[in-house]
Amino acid sequence: MADIKINLLPWREELREEKKQEFVRVTAGVVVLAGLVAFAVYNYYTLAIASQNERNAFIQGKISVLDERISEIKQLDEKRNELLSRMQVIQELQGNRPIIVRLFDELVRKLSDRVFYKSIQLQGKNLDVQGVAESNNRISSQLRNFDESEWFDSPNVTEIKADPNYGPQASLFSLSVIQATPVKEEEQ
């Protein structure tokens, strides 16, 4: 007799086939769903990056505008400082004008007899005087006059040379004194 195989339970094979198809559908669904989720995440981050790049560009634009303003402010500040320094120089000149007039007046008042100034040069507070005197005694007298003045301090002879072109005992001299501002009576 021939072996005949009869499947008495065909429903098991149908069930197995159904389960395979269901597995394939679920797997395909999960893959599609995963693809959609990945696509959504990619789009979200792409939009977030684009948005952040726009914000960065906006901020960079504002920073460049502020940098221009800062450079303008620096230029204006430099001009301001330059003008303030000019104003200060002008104020000092205005304030020193009476002092310089008084200084020259005092130079004339303290000039000894037979002493002649050839040049006077003021550098800061140092006053350099070059002149001609009839004799060395006249130079000493000139030093004493400067020493007695409230407007001059520390008279010092730097050079004395005999010069017969101005007289038999005449001397060329150079001396230096320091300008002083006398103390006002109210301040004493």
- Mean pLDDT, consecutive 10-residue stretches, the chain (188 aa), reads 68 86 96 96 97 96 96 96 93 76 83 88 89 89 89 90 86 90 59
Domain 114-183 has CATH 3.40.50.1980: no
pLDDT value at residue 164:
84
Closest C-alpha to 115, from 101, 98, 97, 136: 136
Q: d(Cα 118, Cα 129) in Å, to the nearest integer? A: 8
Give every strand in the sheet of 171-179, ordered side by side.
115-123, 126-133, 171-179, 152-162
pLDDT of residue 188: 47
Assess contact for 112 and 138: CB atoms under 8 A: yes
Domain locations along the chain? 14-109, 114-183
Coil, helix or strand at residue 166: helix
Residue 128 CB coordination number (10 Å): 14
Q: Give per-residue pLDDT as tens, 32-69.
A: 999 999 999 999 999 999 999 999 999 999 999 999 99
Give the CA distances from residue 126 to residues 84, 111, 160, in Å, rounded to whole numbers and listed in that order: 27, 18, 19
CA-nearest of 117, 119, 115 to 134 is 115
Per-residue pLDDT at 7: 62
How far apart CA 107 and CA 129 sit, in angstroms, is 10
